[in-house]
Every structure is written in C-alpha cells, then in structure tokens.
Structure 1
C-alpha cells in the first residue's frame, strides 16, 4: 500500500512539472529549430498552437501594409509563426539591409578574432596602415577596432564619407559616442588580417554556414548587404542562439555577450553595432543628447536589435525565443535607424501574445 501511494505521488510530481502542450509558455521550452542549409523547407508553428490572440493578427498586418512594409516574419524557437509579403515583394526577392547590416560586420569581426587573425583591442592602423584619417599620428593611434565597433572613434560625424580627408578629429577615441559610417573600416581590417576579400571571408565564415543568400553591393562609400527576408531571419536565429547554428558554434559566446550588451558608458543602448532595448538611457544618430528610458518602451527589455535606414529591422528577444524581421520602405519619413514606427509596431506585436 505504501509503495502504491509512493508511486502515485511520483507520477503526480512528474505530471505537474512537465510542460503542458496547451500552455502558451510551453513554446519557449521547445528545442530550437534550424532550417536546412539548402532548399525552402522551414518548419512552422501556428498562432493557435501558441495560444496567441488570432484577433490581433490582422490589425498587425494592416498596419505593416499601411506603413510601406515589404516583408514581415516572426520566428519562435526558429519556427515561422507569421510570414507575410506586401506591395509586390516575395519570399525570393532580395532587399537591402541598410545599417541593420552593421551587425553582420560586427559578427564577422568577432569570427576573425576567434580565429586569432585580429584583436579588437588593437589599433586600426595596425591592420590597414597609418594615414587612414586626417588626424595626427598620435590621435589616429588611439582608435582601436573596438572603437569602431562601439561608435566611439572620436571622428567628426557631420559627414558619413570615409576617405581620409573627411575623417577629421572631433575628440579622443573613447570619449565621444557618434553614429558614423567609419565602422566599414572593420571590413578592410578583416580583409587585411585574413588575406581574403571581405566578401569571400564573409561568405565562407558566416553566410554559407547558416544557409543565407545575398550579396554586398557598393553604394557610394557604403557597403550594403542585400538578401531575402528569410536570410535575414536566419541571421537573427543565429544570434538568438548566442552565435550557435544547430551544433556549430559560428561565433563564440564570449564575443556574442560583449556584442549584445552595453559596450561603453556613453550610450548605454549600444553594443558592438547592435542596439539594445531596456537600458536606462540611450543616444540617437546625429545627436549628442542623452534620452532617458528604453529605446522602444513598448518592446521587451531584453531585446537587442539590428536597425537600418528606412525601417529595416531585426528584433531578437531571448525571453520570448523570438526573432522578428521587417523589410521595406520608410514607414513614414526617411530615417536613419529608429522612428515612432518601432513603438507602434511593438504595441501591435505584443497584442499577439499578451
């Protein structure tokens, strides 16, 4: 009798501790899914499976279409929950990442470091030579690769041109945060350190390892990535999983943690070319003002983001095991990275699961 009671108690404890498949929180306990490197296969998860609010879907999609979106994807645990295309765009159409692609440069810089090709604490001129700015040698030698990753080069941000004549001293490196296109010099650093072209190294070490498509194109001084929305989602999924794709550690977790946490004490909302939500204050491009509160107050506090001109978005939310992609034209006026669109969009996204 005692043995029978003991067995029943064990069964009750086991059942009580097991994930309820009808519980909406159980989705975050699922094993992470990674789509195959080739082909169009990608597992899905329905709104009803997640116990999300089906009534919140159409208002979200209507808003996205109204705001000039071309694509929108939500992944949970790697599975597609929502995937919609608008205004003539499709799953096979390439679109530009704009400054959301800065995070690709950050990631590949980390990969080059883990291969001992470079050290982000070393000065930039160690890799690409001196005279890459108009600063004095002493001023230029203060600028490290990490300063480029954190937007603290101290170079004048009144222009985004990156030829030496336009890279002018404004402050000592590390003393001023300013959003600047000079980060592209990291691509030159990686190319020199690896002995390969930037695109070749990128393709081998990142793109092909996670099954992305896409190409780098040169627009003026900007090196801009273009790909399908699903390729953007693949990169977001890699970062959701802390740099690991299935069983392959593409980017080591130490660098991932540095990249997706506050990287300096001026702009708390910035990592290594990633934007960070939920911090006590932040700076914006083309401004030296400190804004109090979270960048997107309607969004999750643990969210980190790749944000590009005209509202190209990768939102990564570890607490929700969620990746969200938005590509398209500017929701309202042309903007560099952030806009009021983010705030409204997140109020509609959160309505799905709250």
Structure 2
C-alpha cells in the first residue's frame, strides 16, 4: 500500500475515532450539564428569589455550563436546560420542597406527589436575642480586637482567586455564643437563604444522631439497607456510611461523568443508585469520600421514621428546635432528601447548626444529640490515614500533599467543619470558642481566613 494512501486511512480512522469519542462523551456529559444548570438555576430563582441574569453570569458563567441554554418558566415554576438543543432536563419547584430534577419519573407523577409538611411555629425572631432569635446587641464580649476582626472579614469578602472574584456572599463570626461579626455581599443579607452543598452531609449526620438519641438507630449495627441483605454488602455498618468507609465503588469526581454526577443529575432515586453499586473495598477498610453514602443515610432516615412523618421529621426534630426556620432540604424525584448536596439556609441558621455541635448537642436544656455524639463525630476511622473525617464532618487532619502537616496549619487541631463545594463552610473551633460561617461561589484561603479571625480574638 502506498504510504500516502496509508496515511490517508490513518487520518480517516483518527477522525472517526474522535467523532465517536465525542458522541459518547456528549451522550454522557450533556445531560449532566443541562441537569446541573436547570436544577441550580431553578433553586436560585424560586428558592433564593435571585435575578436570572445574575445567576447566569456568576453561578453558571463558566465552561461547561456556558454551552447550555436555560429557560425559566414562571407560569409552571420550572427551568429547562439543554446543550445545543440536546439532552433536555427540567427542574420543577414545589412549595415547601424546593426544586427537583425530573428523572426516572414523569412530570405529571412528580407533581402529584403529596407530602405532609411541618408547620412552622409563629415565633417573632426579631424579638428574641441571638442565638434563639435575630436580635443582636451592639456590645460584644471582651477580648475582641474589633478593627482586626473587621479587617479579617473584609479580606475574606474581597478575596480573589487567579485574579477573579471568589464571590464570598456571607461571613459570620460567633465567639463564645455571641454573634460578633457579620457581613454580606451586595444582593445578599441575613434573610437570604444560600446553598450549602455538602454542608447537607453534616445535617444528615446530625439527623442520624437524633435517631440514635431516640433509640431508633445504632451506629455499630449493620446499615438497614434492604438490598444488602444476604449479600457481602450486609457487612456495611451505619458507622461505615457516616465515616465514608462503606467500600462501595463510588467516584466523587465533578470534572467528568462519574458516579456522583450521574447520581445527582441523571438519577431519580439516588439512594438506590448508590446502594446498587458493587463493593470495591472490604467495608471499614478504606476511606472514600462519597455523596452516595450520604444519600443512603438519608433513605435510612426515611425508612426509620416512615413515609408519613419523613418530610416533617428534620424540621420538627432538629431545625425548628434550633430556630433554623429558613432551612430547606430538597428531595430527589423519589421523595428522599438529597442528603449529600441540597440544603438551603441563611448564614445565621447555618451558624446555629454549628453552635449545636459547639454545645455538644445540647440546646435550650434539651439533649438533641447523644451526649457523646459530637465526641464520636470528631473521631476518624482507622481506615482514614489522614485522620481528616468523622461522622459527616471534616477534621483538621493531615494535608493530602504533605501528611506531615495539618490541613490548616495555623488553626487548632480540635477544629472540625461542615464543608460544601465552592467553600460553603461552618467551622467549629472549641478551644477558641469560635463558630465561623463562610459562604461563597469559589474557595478562598480558609487557613488564612481562620488565622486572621483567631488573631482578632485575644483570649
């Protein structure tokens, strides 16, 4: 065969390969892009009441979401996303439930679902002192360098990454139970609910703690997952799910089609999706951070309290007791809260949640969580080599790149935190009497942020 003809065939084969690979990638990725955009724009518009143009510019203003087209329908409270007219995905808003992507179910069936919502107590928070209400006194406890604290907050509010704004939207500092620092970006304030992303995992972990306190669950017992009976997966304990050592073959990678993106944006029943995955490791032997584990926990909560009481349960037994009245958990199409990712609350309500753990699960004289729950929550598993994760909370363990150093070298070792994508964080530092909330679109240098705040607290 002449060399020229051979080269031509090679070029054709390469082109065919690239076209086929592109089609396969588009088939896998486009529904994720359109689903992500539709779901998050829907919640931003109908839950947060934000301006569409601003959300498109900030939250969906980077590739690959810029190749999507998102249409808001105010008449039926929905958003439809697509990529070049393909892979259409629709998210609908329902009062009291937030927004849900339509997956593995018809829109008609989804809209017909009926849930018993919790009644919100008629309490005037403006008339109650913090943390039980929103009345904040100007006087602050001693030992605070006010100018230095404000400077630390300003640095975080205006932090940049690669020359671009990180869009820090809220900063809140609680010292010794007192709200001593608070600032918001333009368009946001103390009444704005914000997406917590994986802060949701810590909320889910707390709800498991509530059920343990009520004697309905045991963390050392096998996880009550019906599909796992009489299989190797029946060895997975509730504790393994909490500590991210279930052994399930789950990849937490948001840069490509993976288990986490397929679960969040293609699956209607996220817990079942994850529960069906094969074991990659022996349960309890390997740490593998997985949003899927958290959604299995969420379904365990549902099975434990029953469908009738499930939707109201988090509010009656946790959020409303803490006066976290802004908090919203969003369900998947099967009606199970997306315990890994979709929670909304004001910065103040996220801080109240942090205070619950600061106070060891005790609130207004009621032991909401078991007395030793927080202590258990900050103990890493034997499988966690970096010692950086407990019961759905991150710990100030060791740095992944340099295990000889702490993740946050300038922050006390007893710090633990709820951490969400993009830098949604609730930091609890008992030794410094601090709870710090930072909410934004992109991560900042949190070690520097906390270092500066600690320096302003002169105990």
TM-score (ref. length: structure 2): 0.60
Match of 1:319 among 394, 419, 431: 431
Do the aligned partners of residues 291 and 156 (structure 1) sit closer, same or farther apart at CA in structure 2, a change above 3 Å counting?
farther
SS at match of 1:84: strand
Alignment of 1:242 with 2:360, yes or no, is yes
For 1:167 and 1:109, locate their aligned partners in 2 and report how far apart those are by CA, in whole Å. 22
What's the CA shift string for 1:253-312, capped at 9, x where partnerless?
A: 2122101222334241111011111x4x365xxxxx883321111212211111110100
Alignment of 1:188 with 2:306, yes or no, is no
For 2:289 and 2:214, locate their aligned partners in 1 and report how far apart those are by CA, in whole Å. 28
Q: 2:135 corresponds to which residue?
A: 41
Q: 2:285 corresponds to which residue?
A: 175
Contact in 2 for aligned 1:128/1:192 (Cα 8 Å): no
1:105 CA drift (Å): 0.9
Match of 1:252 among 365, 370, 378: 370
Q: 1:5 corresponds to which residue?
A: none
SS at match of 1:350: helix
Q: How does 1:271-282 map to 2 (within 5 A)?
A: 271-277=390-396, 279=397, 281=398
Do the aligned partners of residues 76 and 350 (structure 1) sit closer, same or farther apart at CA in structure 2, a change above 3 Å counting?
closer
SS at match of 1:177: coil
For 1:164 and 1:140, locate their aligned partners in 2 and report how far apart those are by CA, in whole Å. 12
1:193 CA drift (Å): 1.2
SS at match of 2:321: helix
Do the aligned partners of residues 303 and 223 (structure 1) sit closer, same or farther apart at CA in structure 2, a change above 3 Å counting?
closer
Do the aligned partners of residues 300 and 177 (structure 1) sit closer, same or farther apart at CA in structure 2, a change above 3 Å counting?
same
For 1:165 and 1:192, locate their aligned partners in 2 and report how far apart those are by CA, in whole Å. 14
SS at match of 2:360: coil
Q: 2:380 corresponds to which residue?
A: 262
For 1:123 and 1:290, locate their aligned partners in 2 and report how far apart those are by CA, in whole Å. 35
For 1:102 and 1:155, locate their aligned partners in 2 and report how far apart those are by CA, in whole Å. 17
Do the aligned partners of residues 141 and 295 (structure 1) sit closer, same or farther apart at CA in structure 2, a change above 3 Å counting?
same
SS at match of 2:315: helix
Q: 2:233 corresponds to which residue?
A: 140
For 2:197 and 2:408, locate their aligned partners in 1 and report how far apart those are by CA, in whole Å. 20
For 2:137 and 2:295, locate their aligned partners in 1 and report how far apart those are by CA, in whole Å. 35
For 1:185 and 1:331, locate their aligned partners in 2 and report how far apart those are by CA, in whole Å. 27
Do the aligned partners of residues 41 and 349 (structure 1) sit closer, same or farther apart at CA in structure 2, a change above 3 Å counting?
same
Segment drifting more, 259-268 vs 109-118: 259-268
SS at match of 1:176: coil
Q: 1:20 corresponds to which residue?
A: none
Paired residues in the alignment total 299
Do the aligned partners of residues 252 and 44 (structure 1) sit closer, same or farther apart at CA in structure 2, a change above 3 Å counting?
farther
Do the aligned partners of residues 44 and 217 (structure 1) sit closer, same or farther apart at CA in structure 2, a change above 3 Å counting?
farther
Do the aligned partners of residues 282 and 193 (structure 1) sit closer, same or farther apart at CA in structure 2, a change above 3 Å counting?
farther
For 1:129 and 1:68, locate their aligned partners in 2 and report how far apart those are by CA, in whole Å. 43
For 1:282 and 1:139, locate their aligned partners in 2 and report how far apart those are by CA, in whole Å. 33
Contact in 2 for aligned 1:188/1:198 (Cα 8 Å): no
What's the CA shift string for 1:142-186, capped at 9, x where partnerless?
A: 111111100001111222234058622211111110000122111
Match of 1:99 among 198, 215, 224: 198
Q: CA RMSD in A?
A: 2.5
Q: Which of the two has higher C-alpha Rg? A: 2
Do the aligned partners of residues 109 and 219 (structure 1) sit closer, same or farther apart at CA in structure 2, a change above 3 Å counting?
same
Q: Which runs of 5+ in 1 are unaligned?
A: 1-32, 284-288, 333-340
SS at match of 1:130: helix
Contact in 2 for aligned 1:69/1:87 (Cα 8 Å): no
Do the aligned partners of residues 85 and 34 (structure 1) sit closer, same or farther apart at CA in structure 2, a change above 3 Å counting?
same
